Amino acid sequence: MVNVLTKTLGLNWMDNEYSNIQASIGYITAVADEDSDGKLTRKNFGAPFDNYFHSYIWYGDQREQWSDATGGSYNFLATSTLSISGTFTVPPGVTELSMLLIGGGGGAAGTGQNGDSGRGGGGGGGGGLIYGTVATSPGATFYCYAGRGGTSGNTPTTSGGAGFSTYVREGSIAGNTIATANGGGGGVYALGSGINQSGRRAAGGSYSWNASYFTRGGGGTGGQGGFASYNSSGGAGGGAAGYSGNGGNGEGTNSGSNGSDGSGGGGGGGNSASSYCQGGGGTGIYGEGASGGRGQGGSGGGNGGTGNAASDGGNYGGGGGADDDDYYSSSGNGVGAGGAIRIVWGSPSIYFPNDNSAF
């Protein structure tokens, strides 16, 4: 079911009118009068609804569209468990699109008691990011696929699942691939006592593009997941890639070693300590902002979760963190965050890494 809400905003929308809208169609995740000033604001956007004729369409499955006389946007927003796909049709009068793609974060490996000591699994890698422009024409179509996050391992000797890649293709699912942001690698399970764990960490997601269709503006590689270990805390999740830099690497072991902050607007690698690991920070989709510190989201992205069985990666593209080596859960550890696609257009043209958050 598609809910469509349109309004000519020569006058402000008053609170009582908003209440009637809320009661009749009930999609509060789409709009909210957050500051009670009589103007509706787009939730998570922060700009007032005024001056233009706008239409907002919420599809109920993590696809959304915003448009007005000056431009618009279309988002495909995956989750840790659900990839989102669909066809985007170029609106009338539009001849250029700016696209942002973020891959899904990888899931952490399993942890838990094994014999006389515990195995601390590795954290998942952060998703890659790419942005750029595509020359197009009204009525042209693009197949878009935003990849889900990776699953976590649910035994001490099970690795996590890789995050799913995010991509855009010309025309249909069978068309030429225009650009891809790869998902982060799944966390690697810990080896037994006395075995060197060096190098056992998940890779961050990379990116690629077809220069015949896509003019790349920038992007980065996701951060690596924290190292697996034996008789020590597992690895934290890697941060999602930035607009002009890479995601931070997740820490590992009780001492929280070998981690890093995000760069170029990317998410920071998660923390690790003797009792927990953290998911990697995600990267926001509204243009480049501040980079994330340890476990923090970059460019307005979500922070990584903290705590045993709660160390999921932050939106979008953060890698999942493992748990303490003495903790075991049959449901697994931290999962990777889903990826995303954001398409924007406007007059004058709007480009990443600064899309002005206008749409």
- pLDDT per residue over 181-231, tens digit each? 999 999 999 888 778 777 889 999 999 999 999 999 999 999 999 998 888
Side-chain-facing half-sphere of 314: CA atoms under 13 Å: 39
In this prediction, residue 64 carries a pLDDT of 60
Max CA pair span of the chain: 72
For the entire predicted model, the pTM comes to 0.83
**Residue 11 clears pLDDT 80, i.e. is over it:** no
In this prediction, residue 259 carries a pLDDT of 93
Mean pLDDT of 254-264: 92
Structure confidence at residue 164 as a pLDDT band (50, 70, 90): very high
For residue 159, give both structure tokens: 């690795």
In this prediction, residue 354 carries a pLDDT of 74
In this prediction, residue 273 carries a pLDDT of 87
In this prediction, residue 16 carries a pLDDT of 31
**Residue 15 clears pLDDT 80, i.e. is over it:** no
Closest by alpha carbon to 49, among 70, 71, 62, 33?
Answer: 33
- The helix, strand and coil proportions of the chain, stated in percent and rounded to the nearest 5, come to 5, 30, 70
Mean pLDDT of 58-74: 61
Structure confidence at residue 92 as a pLDDT band (50, 70, 90): confident
Average pLDDT, the chain: 80
Closest by alpha carbon to 142, among 283, 316, 342, 288?
Answer: 342
Query: Whole-angstrom Cα distance, residue 354 to residue 90?
Result: 21
Compute how many other C-beta atoms are within 10 angstroms of the C-beta atom of residue 215. Answer: 12
Dihedral, CA atoms, 22, 25, 27, 33, nearest 10 degrees? -30
| Residue 196: its H or E element | none
Return the higher-pLDDT residue of 213 and 357.
213
Structure confidence at residue 159 as a pLDDT band (50, 70, 90): very high
Query: Whole-angstrom Cα distance, residue 320 to residue 256?
Result: 16
Closest by alpha carbon to 7, among 55, 69, 51?
Answer: 55
Query: Whole-angstrom Cα distance, residue 128 to residue 217?
Result: 14
Structure confidence at residue 275 as a pLDDT band (50, 70, 90): confident
In this prediction, residue 93 carries a pLDDT of 86
Among 50-54, 112-116, 179-183, where is mean pLDDT lowest? 50-54
Percent of the chain with pLDDT over 70: 77
Q: How far is CA 204 from CA 11, 54, 128, 144, 237, in A?
A: 48, 39, 7, 22, 10
Structure confidence at residue 320 as a pLDDT band (50, 70, 90): very high
Structure confidence at residue 65 as a pLDDT band (50, 70, 90): low
Structure confidence at residue 26 as a pLDDT band (50, 70, 90): very low
9-23, 27-41, 59-73, 94-108 — most confident range: 94-108
In this prediction, residue 323 carries a pLDDT of 82
